[in-house]
Structure formats: C-alpha cells, structure tokens
Amino acid sequence: MRAFRIIGPLKGEVVEQKVYEIKANEVLVRVGACGICGTDIHIFKGELPLKYPVVPGHEISGEVIEVGSEVQFFRKGDKVAVNPNLYCRKCYYCKRGLVHFCENWKAIGIHLPGGFAEYVKVPEFLLHKVPETLSFEEAAFAEPIACCLHGIRRLEISTGDKVAVFGLGPIGLIHIQLAKMSGASLVVGIDLIEKKLKIAESLGADYTINAGSKDPVKEIMSLTEGRGVDKVIEATGSPKVLEQALRVIDYCGKILVFGVAPPEAKVNISPYIVYRKEVTIMGSFTNPFTTEDSVKLLSSGVVKVKPLVSHVIRLEDIVEYFNRIMRRDKDIIKVLVKPG
C-alpha cells in the first residue's frame, strides 16, 4: 500500500509499506477520501508533541475490505465514515460520559496511522455506515460536521435567534447551515475572502460582511438595531475576533469559541460586560456521540458539502497543498485527498 508520511517539521514523503494487519475487533478500510484539516497542518509544522513519522488524516470515508473475527456489525463492501477519536471507556471522564476528555485519548491520523494512505485500520466501534447514495467525498465530511454539531448543541440556538459566524472556512460554512437548520431568523457570515462570502450566501447566510472593507461590529449592530446578536460562533481562532464577538453580543447572549487559537494567545475581555450582559462564553472540543447524526444530515441533504470542496488531490500533492494552505491561498476552501 501507498501512504503519505510526515517525517519531520515541514517534511513529507509518499512511501510503499505493508498493508496493516488487523486485530480481532478491527476493520480494514480502503480509503475513499480524506479531508485536510488544520490539525494536519499543525502536525506538518511540528507544533504538536508527536513522534515522527506520522501518517496524518482523520476526516475519513471508505469501504470495508476486511473484518476481524470479533467484528459484529460490519461486512466487506460496507461504505463507512470514521470517527477518529479512540476513548478508553474506563477512565474517570469516560465513565461520566465525557469521552472527549478521555485521559487515555488517542486519535487516528494523530497518534495512530491515518487516512492519507490507501488503507487504514479502525476499531469497529468508531465506524459508521453511510448509504450508497452518498459519495466518498461527501462522507469524508462526517467528522467535521460531527464536531460542528456538538458545538451547535452546546450553543442552544433557539427559533428566531440572530447568529453571527466569524470565519467562513469549511467549519464556518457548515455552521452557517446548522444555524439556519436550528431556526435562526438571521445568520450573518463574516470573512475576508469574497469567494467564501458568496458560498455562505448560497448556503443560507442572510447577510455577509467582508471584514477587509467593512467594520463587522458596526455592520452587525446596524443590522440588529443596535442590540447585537443572540449567538456568536467564532471559527477563526483569532483573539481579536473573540474581542469583536463580545462587542456584538446581546444581553444573555452566548459565544461559542470553536476556532483553535495558539495555546499562548490571550484575549482582552471586560469582566464588566460579561457580568452586565450575562454573557456566556463556551468552548467546543471534538465530536462526542454526534457522528451518527452527522451522517444523517449528510444523507438527507440538509447539510450540503459539495460547494465546500475546492480541490481533490493525490497523495503526491499533499506537501504542495499543505504549503498553499499555510500561505493562505485564497482559492482553497476544502482539500480532499483521494489516495487511490
């Protein structure tokens, strides 16, 4: 089999290696498609404490090729999506149902070989069947949609809420759709790139703001008669944007911190505003128990992902596209790798 490996900071290669041998509770999956995520870029840049080489890629769809002797619910030929997060199901947090905080957490594509390869091995409990009508490219979005769905559920958007989404990469564009699905009466998308703003409008955004030419705070306050929005989704990871979110949030509003900021980043927050407006600021991490519903949303067409795919590439192209993403290439929305 062929696999792409990160062998050190800013270094990657495609290699030939043996197909994985599976354990009794594992399934061998032929990778149909695997999305490039920001986490893959962090690994490539050497920003995570991992041992090289690493086969990255955790947004995986594919076809079951082989099943272990103890596998009960999957058969050869099944089309599947993968939840990459392995939980021990034994530690303090797992026993409380908080599996995404597992003290022994590992992830496919980070700690274990991932989907930038022709094959990947997966424990049965992390697989989800997808219908034949769903393409591999679409099914590869099951993981990022599941993560967004967890955040949306934490945010508790009510019918009639006004929502602002800062950052319209793939995650922000998914959030736009989930916010509308949840009953928001006004969804505003904010970004610097016109291409992304246009896609947001086509996916249901009621209003978009180019933050490069207009002040998002002034625009949002004007749209809402000076009151602000009920919910904000911060999907950029920029501390400055989180500060803007606090300026546009209405009384009893909630701010979801979804974008991943550098660990050392700091934000200037007015405790008085949080106190006076009864503002809630919350985070969202991974996808506990949301992958099955994510597949349903994809299958029904409620969440559309085809408009998000800007590039489909081979294993040999990964380093080039990692570099393009790091240069913030404006043509890139979502890149999918097709190892075969």
**pLDDT tens per residue, the chain (340 residues)?**
999 999 999 999 999 999 999 999 999 999 999 999 999 999 999 998 899 999 999 999 999 999 999 999 999 999 999 999 999 999 999 999 999 999 999 999 999 999 999 999 999 999 999 999 999 999 999 999 999 999 999 999 999 999 999 999 999 999 999 999 999 999 999 999 999 999 999 999 999 999 999 999 999 999 999 999 999 999 999 999 999 999 999 999 999 999 998 888 999 999 999 999 999 999 999 999 999 999 999 999 999 999 999 999 999 999 999 999 999 999 999 999 999 8
The reply to whether omega before 239 is within 30° of 0 (cis) is no
Q: Which of 42, 111, 224, 280 is catalytic?
A: 42
Query: Which segments of 68-126 are extended strands (E)?
Result: 79-82, 85-86, 106-107, 119-123
Catalytic (active site) residue 42: yes
Q: How far is CA 23 from CA 51, 124, 178, in A?
A: 23, 10, 37
The architecture (CATH level 2) of 2-141+305-337 comes to Alpha-Beta Complex (3.90)
pTM greater than 0.85 (yes/no): yes
Domain 148-283 has what CATH class? alpha beta
Could you say which of 39, 236, 286, 291 is catalytic?
39
Q: Give the span between the Cα atoms of 140 and 162, in whole angstroms.
A: 30
Quickly count helices (H) and strands (E) in the chain: 11, 17
- What's the chain's Rg over C-alpha atoms? 20
58 is catalytic: no
Domain boundaries defined on the chain: 2-141+305-337, 148-283
